[in-house]
């Protein structure tokens, strides 16, 4: 994990939840947990003097999904998920759909890994600075209509992307500009690739 990059996204006053094997990054992130959640099948319970929710190994929700639902119950509205994409494609896809879950509740979420920043775009416009190498707009469900992209190498105007045919991959922001993505109906997963 690129700790310097990821740490730049975490504010000093942010409420931090570590899930199970995420605890192995605690020292390098220099952030103590406010809450620990996990079934501890991939990291041992550290038994810290911090609120800890121990989950059963056999359950419907992953540790990450449970932690997000718990944070929603506690009134949080803006989420940053770190370390949730990687070698396990099943977990990666499940965690990407957490962004859709948050959006369905009217909440915001972002995933950051070593390579990219991801967010779910619905009715509110999304911006991409030219500090990113590339960006992609992926439709992960159904049909998305009236997609417009401004200030990009491949602009769109009132376009449609179906989940079965993805053509919004590897776009570029015009130098010195900020790309703007708007969606009229449906949603897209916006992936911004770091330089």
CATH number at residue 100: 3.40.50.10240
Last residue of a domain, one of 114, 138, 166: 114
What is the count of structural domains for the chain? 2
What is the pLDDT, as a whole number, of residue 59? 92
**pLDDT tens, 17-38?**
999 889 999 999 989 999 999 9
Q: Which segments of the chain have a pLDDT < 50?
A: none
> How many whole angstroms separate alpha carbon 164 and alpha carbon 32?
42
What is the pLDDT, as a whole number, of residue 47? 87
> How many whole angstroms separate alpha carbon 81 and alpha carbon 110?
6
Q: Are residues 53 and 73 in the same domain?
A: yes
Q: Are residues 131 and 110 in the same domain?
A: no
What is the pLDDT, as a whole number, of residue 93? 94
- Give me the CATH number covering residue 172: 2.60.120.320
**Residue 86's domain spans which residues?**
3-114
Give the DSSP H or E segment for 112. Answer: strand 108-112
This prediction's pTM: 0.92
> How many whole angstroms separate alpha carbon 149 and alpha carbon 81?
26
Q: Are residues 102 and 133 in the same domain?
A: no
What is the pLDDT, as a whole number, of residue 189? 97
What is the pLDDT, as a whole number, of residue 84? 94
> How many whole angstroms separate alpha carbon 145 and alpha carbon 184?
6
Last residue of a domain, one of 68, 90, 114: 114
């Amino acid at each position: 994990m690129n700790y310097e990059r990821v740490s730049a996204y975490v504010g000093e006053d942010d409420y931090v939840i570590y899930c199970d094997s995420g605890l192995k990054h605690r020292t390098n992130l220099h952030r103590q947990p406010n809450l620990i959640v996990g079934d501890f099948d991939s990291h041992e319970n550290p038994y810290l003097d911090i609120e800890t929710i121990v989950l059963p190994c056999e359950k419907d929700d992953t540790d990450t999904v449970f932690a997000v639902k718990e944070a929603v119950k506690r009134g949080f509205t803006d989420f940053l998920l770190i370390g949730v994409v990687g070698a396990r494609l099943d977990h990666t896809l499940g965690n990407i759909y957490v962004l859709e879950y948050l959006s369905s509740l009217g909440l915001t979420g972002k995933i950051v890994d070593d390579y990219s920043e991801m967010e779910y775009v619905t009715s509110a416009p999304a911006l991409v600075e030219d500090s990113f190498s590339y960006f992609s707009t992926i439709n992960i469900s159904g049909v998305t209509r009236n997609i417009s992209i401004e200030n990009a190498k491949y602009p769109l105007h009132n376009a449609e992307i179906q989940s079965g045919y993805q053509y919004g991959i590897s776009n570029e922001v015009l130098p010195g500009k900020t790309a703007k993505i708007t969606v009229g109906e449906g949603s897209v997963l916006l992936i911004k690739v770091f330089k």
